[in-house]
Chain A
């Protein structure tokens, strides 16, 4: 005798199937929602909460060295972004085949290979910016933000999420580079997008904007100490915004008063 209870009629079977389908659909919806939430969290982490430049303070050497102009900053930012996406995706794709003991040298190999490829491509298709960035292009290999993401996230997550994490972290880093470049170029030279033709070709010469006429360059903004000061201001600004948001949340929760109706009727 079987323990299974046979359905009374075909209606019961249909109902059971419908319930299964609904459950499956609900699960799918939940999975999609979870994935969306994860992507949103990755974006927030990369761009704001865990920004490689502002919060983790990684890759400060190129961050401070090449941000004297927006063009240089953008060039290095795009190169780093490309390396981050590619290395994260590759590390994630091979994560099951790499033994724990040798994961770091393998990650370094992968990153170095991608950096060299990016360097060759920039040499071929953006020769001006390649010359302008000089040693800081191959130095991307030593950027802790890249190996850090490979180790902390990419080696433990699927390819899509890892690539997206790379994109967001890279964007976060590039945005800080460009912001620093804007501040330093305006204060130091009174221009914006000076030498844009080095990155985008001759047509980009028209992008150059004379923001203000300076009789002589403001040296502090151009030299590395100026980069440190500007970076400090950006970090302070981010912390101030974070504190403001935090305080606002506290005030909002305090303002929520529960109303209770008391009925004295027996």
Chain B
């Protein structure tokens, strides 16, 4: 019994190898198909990537071209807008210099933020007539109120204009000249002392009106103007001796610096203000 070998496996042997072979073939076919699919996918992805890149380049070129064509006009518009603002707070007949290109840069907590602020200097025959300082009133109802104020040589206010704000339309936006003439109430006003109590809104027993239904906005502007005026009065001497930081003068300075290839240390703000 034990000598007898079951013939069935022998018969099945070739069919087993056939099955393995067909399995291998099937696997190979599957691998080929996967490869083909992957390569098709890779081709599609790379093609799409190229097309997308091409469009991105085309769009960038178009925007770059328009930017290049409008660059000078934008600069001109910004300059005109600045001059218009400056003319509204310092009478153009009072000075004879190029006010937009005669300025100094400064940074101080009294100016509302730690950002750099610009002061434009109006001169007549070389003598300083007035200075227009950009400043910020940080306590507005909806955040910062950026303004520019002109201060005469005698310390009186020549004019104030709000440049940017997020105050409530119809309430706080009366700080804009086109909405109300409230902002002109600063004209000609002076600080009698650093803590002049008159510089407040009427609700705080001051000399400036507030708006109906809005006290926070005018209070913030009055505080901002007072703080800026205080800062200028205190540091007038050191501020006006600073080098020009605007326009052609600045370009000349940077050209000289680059030709000498030297790095100058930044100005010490604190030292200048002492």
Contact = CB atoms under 8 A, between A and B. Distances in A.
Contact of A117 (B62, B80, B170): B62
Contacts of B77: 123-125, 127
B66 A121 contact: yes
Instruction: Please classify the interface of chain B as helix (H, G, I), strand (E, B), loop, or mixed, using the class held by over half of its residues.
Output: helix
A110 B55 contact: yes
A70 to B, nearest CB: 15
Give the interface size bracket for B toward A.
20 to 34
Chain A interface main SS type: helix
Interface string A74-118: 000000000000000000000001110110011001101100110
Nearest to B49: A102
Contacts of A109: 52, 55-56, 59
Nearest to B169: A222
Given A102-B52, A109-B59, A127-B81, A120 B66 contact: yes
B238 interface: no
B48 A99 contact: yes
Interface in B48-73: 48, 51-52, 55-56, 59-60, 62-63, 66-67, 70, 73
Interface in B229-272: none
Contact of A106 (B44, B47, B55, B73): B55
B29 interface: no
A30 interface: no
Contact of A223 (B44, B55, B73, B170): B170
A255 interface: no
Contacts of B67: 120
A99 B47 contact: yes
A216 B180 CA distance: 11
Contacts, number: 66
Given A102-B51, A222-B169, A120 B59 contact: no
Contacts of B80: 127
B91 interface: no
Contacts of B52: 102, 105-106, 109
Contacts of A188: 170
A68 B169 contact: yes
Contact of B70 (A97, A105, A124, A223): A124
Contacts of B171: 219
Contacts of A216: 212
A217 interface: yes
Interface string B150-171: 0000000000000000001111
B178 interface: yes
Contact of B63 (A101, A102, A116): A116
Contacts of B66: 116-117, 120-121
A101 B41 CA distance: 12
Interface of B: 44, 47-48, 51-52, 55-56, 59-60, 62-63, 66-67, 70, 73-74, 77-78, 80-81, 168-171, 178, 212
13 contacts: A97-B51, A101-B48, A102-B52, A109-B56, A113-B62, A117-B63, A120-B67, A120-B70, A121-B66, A127-B77, A188-B170, A194-B178, A223-B170
